[in-house]
A and B are shown apart, each in its own frame.
Chain A
Amino acid sequence: MTAFTRTALVLGLAFLYAPILVLVVFSFNASSLVTVWGGFSTRWYGVLLDDAPLIAAAWVSLRVALMAALVATILGTLAALALERHGRFRGRGPFTALVYAPMVMPEVITGLSLLLLFVGIGLDRGLATIVIAHATFGTGFVAVVVGARLKGLDRSLEEAAADLGAGPARVFRTVTLPLLAPAVAAGFLLAFTLSLDDLVIASFVSGPGATTLPMRLYSQVRLGVNPEINAASTLLIALVSLVVLAASRLLGRPDAAA
């Protein structure tokens, strides 16, 4: 590695992670002023645990993320199977675009359109509407991850199973699904973190009593940043990092190419 590339790497990483590092460091600040270092302390983590509205918001986020990820995993896996395994059916192209569109759609538009839909059909806004909204864009991500694995899956494995007397259901249960499992799990984790992170869409479609953690943090920041926000954000970063790491390990497993 030359001096130039090393410098470029350091600057690049600093650009990406310096703000996060500052946030993490200041979450251990003893001072109650956000920008003045007053020595190392974990007192804000203690304050955090006593902040009932914040803890409640965290629980809402976790429940939403779990349910949304579950729905997205089932729908996304089915979508990937339909797109990869049912040959060239009529409307395959548009259908593919429709599955992937929510991933690139501006969140404001997704949020607004869902809000209009929920209001239009008279669905009360709350936990369920956030779950539905998060499952919508999570499905696209799961479909991409599972679809990539399906593309790499040797067709002759499923043919061999059928040849050995297994009907379509048994082929799916004993061969296709076990071989897809790492991608399905990774897709689930991805949908989970995306739901956990989301602020914009949740703000549009949530209702009274359904405040997610990012929503709660954002509303507190508007009243002024305190080190407690830093502590909460640090925990959120840690959780998301762990889940993303797990997902990438699942996709990078040596048998993932089988």
Chain B
Amino acid sequence: MHAPVPPRPEPLVRIDRVSKTFGAHRAVDGVSLDLEAGSFLCLLGPSGCGKSTLLRLLAGFESPEAGRILIDGADVTGLPPHRRPVNMMFQSYALFPHMSVGRNVAYGLQGLGLGRTAIAERVADLLRLVRLEGLSERRPDRLSGGQRQRVALARALAREPRVLLLDEPLGALDRGLREETQGELRALQRRLATTFVVVTHDPAEAMTLADRIAVMDRGRLVQAGSAADLYERPESRFVAGLLGDVNLIEGRLGGGRPDGRATLETGFGALVAGAPEAALGPGEPVVAAIRPERVALLAGPGEGLQGTVTDAVFLGDRIRRQVRMRDGTLIRAASPVSADPGAGPGTEVRLAIPPEAVRVLAP
């Protein structure tokens, strides 16, 4: 979907081996990450993985024990939040309850040397941008959840930050509004060409919003890349399981083949896989990650991996089947409705899995 951009010498944001500990807990552990200007990055991971702490380190609310943060080539590691060219939209929105919507949005514009009319015009522009014209005099507690979210967005954009940080920006919205707002946020980011960094625990949201996803787990950056990279070429079991459905099959790495491919010995037969991760040698226990939609079902007897369909579920755009292999392993296979093999429960089938669809990962 997005071609990888070749790294330029000067990224907008450079996070350089940053670590932060709280007591004995390593919240962020040696994370390095570069961010291109105008990009939309998602920090993705389960709660407690350090993604919010990394965001707070960028905003300046926490200071790292080790490492540096550079914005536009300048070291901002020691700068307090009010001196950094970034703004943040808080998960709770953090709207000032004692100020009107207009004064909330104007808060960041005071002290910039703007005149009163210039501030008023800018506030009106921002409220128009988030479609809240006419609500300038309202108090935040008189707004709906969606409106509050948009006030928080307008307020964070007021100072035209080099980077906009968003902490679970859609977390407090209900599902319908969430999907609509995802589209709006994406469109807004394209229009303003501001660099966005979003923290989310929702893989689907990360895939919808971002052109680059950085997956974090237990304080470490596990893998970063486009949604397609992470989905097709996960480098760990954790990433494979995080984005979308996946079959994870335990086995042992067999000998290498002349064509550079690997074989994988499993309980139900040998699988031909793509080239394994360099660190893995023959005989080592590994896990194969296979997306259900890459598993094709062939009818009738013949060579290959034999199994029996145990379940078939119609999901509208595809049909998902569960196949029991001869050692009892269950494998999910999804076929588009238009190319459905039509195998009901009890049918004997053979699995056909292209080698490049089998990712061999460390267990």
Contacts and interface: CB of A to CB of B under 8 A. Distances in A.
Is chain B a partner of chain A in the same complex?
yes
Interface string A164-187: 111100100011001100000000
Interface in B137-168: 141, 155-156, 158-159
Nearest to B90: A156
A124 interface: no
A258 B98 CA distance: 9
Contacts of B59: 159, 163
A174 B108 CA distance: 12
Given A163-B87, A164-B108, A178 B98 contact: yes
A161 B59 CA distance: 12
Interface centre among B61, B90, B107, B112 (most CB of A within 10 A): B107
B82 A167 contact: yes
Interface in A131-166: 154, 156-157, 159-166
Nearest to A164: B108
A157 B82 contact: no
Interface in A10-60: none
Interface in B259-304: none
A170 B108 CA distance: 11
Interface residues of A, number: 19
Given A154-B94, A160-B96, A258-B98, 11 more contacts: A154-B92, A156-B92, A157-B94, A160-B90, A163-B60, A163-B82, A163-B156, A164-B155, A166-B111, A174-B107, A179-B98
B261 to A, nearest CB: 52
Contacts of A167: 82
A166 B84 CA distance: 11
Interface centre among B60, B80, B96, B108 (most CB of A within 10 A): B96
B61 A170 contact: no
B67 interface: no
Contacts of A157: 94, 96-97
A25 B96 CA distance: 49
Nearest to B167: A156
Nearest to B97: A258
Nearest to A255: B97
A73 B90 CA distance: 32
Given A166-B82, A175-B96, A160 B112 contact: no
17 contacts: A154-B92, A154-B94, A156-B90, A159-B88, A159-B94, A161-B107, A163-B60, A164-B82, A165-B111, A166-B107, A166-B111, A167-B82, A170-B111, A175-B96, A179-B98, A255-B141, A258-B98
Nearest to A181: B98
B97 A159 contact: no
Nearest to A158: B94
Interface string B198-226: 00000000000000000000000000000
Nearest to B139: A255
Contacts, number: 63
Given A178-B98, A255-B97, A162 B81 contact: yes
Contact residues of A: prevailing secondary structure = helix
B54 to A, nearest CB: 16
A157 to B, nearest CB: 5
Interface of B: 59-61, 80-82, 86-88, 90-92, 94, 96-98, 107-108, 111-112, 141, 155-156, 158-159
Nearest to A254: B141
Contact of A159 (B81, B158, B159): B81
Contacts of B98: 178-179, 255, 258
Contacts of B97: 157, 179, 255, 258
B159 to A, nearest CB: 6
A175 B98 CA distance: 8
Nearest to A178: B98
A156 B94 contact: yes
A160 B159 contact: no
A179 B96 CA distance: 9
A161 B88 CA distance: 10
Given A167-B82, A179-B97, A159 B108 contact: no
A258 B94 CA distance: 10
Interface centre among A163, A170, A175, A179 (most CB of B within 10 A): A163
Contacts of A156: 90-92, 94
Interface centre among A154, A160, A170, A174 (most CB of B within 10 A): A160
Contacts of B96: 157, 160-161, 175
Nearest to A159: B61
Contact of B112 (A159, A165, A170, A179): A165
B81 A163 contact: yes
B82 A160 contact: no
Nearest to A167: B82
A162 B79 CA distance: 12
Contacts of B82: 162-167
